């Protein structure tokens, strides 16, 4: 069947940041993508993808039968001209090798690099979307434009109708709103003052809350703190691409260093990202045209982790606790009201 295979079984944000690579490869021929079930939700309706192959790492890690079924599905599509290892585990390298792909391209820093035919340098100074996009490029390629590394998501008509219904249920369809995404899988990445920020914003904007069921408590606290009809609470209610659609309608979003900032980058929503134990220099900052980042730049213990530990290693949590609602609100004002070019 030919074409290219992209293997990306990492976190949701990584999947979203892989879409520029997929778009680049699609200009050359058909592209199949091996991805987790959660990642597959982000890639739905993507016109650059021929086939999305779901691979549940948790369900197949110790299940030889499930892994073999995935291998058979991949081999049925052979020969791939090339496999691109956007996720660099040894297991991903084995899967790529077993497809019979003539070329297996990944980063020289990956644990599966011994199985690659081409090892490319991992550029820590670049945004991760650019790093992944570069897997398809020669080392002498020109730097990409912003559009080339912009993530791409494709909410459906059904997603749009779902968001229309949610907004109507909360009392309005045209009032401007700011989205807040207070959650994160990592405890130290959760800024603790979203309720106070929502109160500050409610004089001028309705508030849309973005998140999963794990964010129910903070969403309830925000809802209780604001007058009736001021909150669009989508927590645990929307499919992923419907959440992207809701974010796309916001005047701006305030988010932790987590997947919603990448949804916002894809939807072009002005973004303020709050970084605690991590820093944007790792390559995972916002890519929206209007964006800003907040962080406690004077702390010697920061950054303390590539992803963000579940608990503060030193026990003081200062990287988040000392970012005040006043400071975040002032940065958001700059994002919402950029200076007019002279």
Q: What is the distance of C-alpha 274 from the center of its chain? A: 14
**Could you tell me if 198 and 226 are in contact, meaning their C-beta atoms sit under 8 angstroms apart?**
yes
Q: Is residue 341 in a domain? A: no
Q: Is residue 150 in a domain? A: no
157: Cα within 13 Å, side-chain hemisphere = 0
Please tell me the predicted confidence (pLDDT) of residue 55. Answer: 87
Domain boundary pick from 102, 136, 170: 136
Please tell me the predicted confidence (pLDDT) of residue 76. Answer: 74
Question: Is 86 in the same domain as 183?
Answer: no
Nearest alpha carbon to residue 131 among 83, 87, 189, 185: 87
Question: Is 71 in the same domain as 122?
Answer: yes
Query: What is the reported pTM?
Result: 0.92
| Per-position pLDDT tens, the chain of length 342 | 579 999 999 999 999 999 999 999 999 999 999 999 999 999 999 999 999 998 876 655 445 566 667 777 777 766 899 999 999 999 899 889 888 888 999 999 999 999 999 999 999 999 999 999 999 998 778 889 989 999 999 999 999 999 999 999 887 667 899 999 999 988 899 999 999 999 999 999 999 999 999 999 999 999 999 998 899 999 999 999 999 999 999 999 999 999 999 999 999 999 999 999 999 999 999 999 999 999 999 999 999 988 888 899 999 999 999 999 999 999 999 999 877 665
Domain of 185, in residue numbers: 158-336
CATH code (residue 226): 3.40.50.2000
Please tell me the predicted confidence (pLDDT) of residue 113. Answer: 94
Question: Is 116 in the same domain as 204?
Answer: no
Question: Is 99 in the same domain as 223?
Answer: no
Please tell me the predicted confidence (pLDDT) of residue 71. Answer: 73
Please tell me the predicted confidence (pLDDT) of residue 67. Answer: 67
Please tell me the predicted confidence (pLDDT) of residue 183. Answer: 93
Question: Is 117 in the same domain as 169?
Answer: no
Question: Is 176 in the same domain as 81?
Answer: no
Could you give the CA distance from residue 74 to residue 68 in angstroms, rounded to a whole number? Answer: 10
Question: Is 245 in the same domain as 310?
Answer: yes
Q: Is residue 142 in a domain? A: no
Question: Is 314 in the same domain as 167?
Answer: yes
Could you give the CA distance from residue 207 to residue 191 in angstroms, rounded to a whole number? Answer: 17
Q: Is residue 50 in a domain? A: yes
Question: Is 16 in the same domain as 112?
Answer: yes
């Amino acid at each position: 069947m030919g074409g290219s295979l992209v293997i990306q079984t990492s976190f949701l944000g990584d999947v979203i940041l892989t879409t520029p690579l997929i778009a680049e490869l699609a200009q050359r021929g058909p592209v199949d993508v091996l991805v987790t079930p959660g990642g597959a939700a982000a890639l739905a309706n993507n016109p650059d993808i021929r086939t999305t192959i779901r691979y549940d790492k948790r369900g197949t890690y110790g299940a030889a039968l499930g892994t073999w079924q995935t291998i058979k599905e991949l081999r049925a599509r052979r020969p791939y001209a090339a496999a691109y290892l956007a996720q660099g585990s040894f297991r991903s390298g084995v899967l790529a090798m077993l497809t019979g792909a003539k070329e297996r391209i990944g980063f020289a820093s990956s644990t599966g690099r011994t199985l690659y035919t081409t090892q490319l340098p991992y550029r820590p100074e670049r945004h991760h979307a650019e790093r992944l996009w570069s897997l398809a490029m020669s080392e002498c390629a020109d730097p990409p434009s912003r559009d080339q590394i912009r993530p791409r998501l494709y909410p459906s008509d059904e997603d749009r109708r779902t968001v229309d219904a949610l907004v109507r249920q909360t009392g309005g369809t045209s009032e401007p709103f700011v989205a807040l995404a207070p959650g994160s899988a990592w405890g130290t990445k959760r800024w603790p003052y979203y309720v106070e920020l929502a109160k500050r914003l409610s004089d001028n904007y309705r508030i849309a809350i973005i998140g999963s069921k794990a964010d129910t408590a903070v969403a309830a606290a925000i809802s209780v703190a604001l007058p009736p009809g001021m909150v669009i609470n989508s927590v645990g209610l929307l499919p992923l691409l419907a959440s992207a659609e809701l974010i796309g309608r916001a005047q701006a979003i305030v988010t932790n260093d987590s997947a919603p900032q990448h949804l916002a980058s894809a939807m072009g929503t002005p973004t303020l990202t709050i970084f605690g134990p991590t820093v944007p220099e790792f390559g995972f900052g916002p890519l929206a045209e209007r964006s800003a980042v907040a962080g406690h730049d004077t702390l010697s213990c920061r950054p303390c982790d590539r992803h963000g530990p579940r608990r503060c290693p030193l026990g003081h949590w200062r990287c988040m606790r000392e970012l005040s609602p006043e400071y975040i609100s002032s940065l958001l004002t700059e994002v919402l009201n950029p200076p007019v070019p002279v």
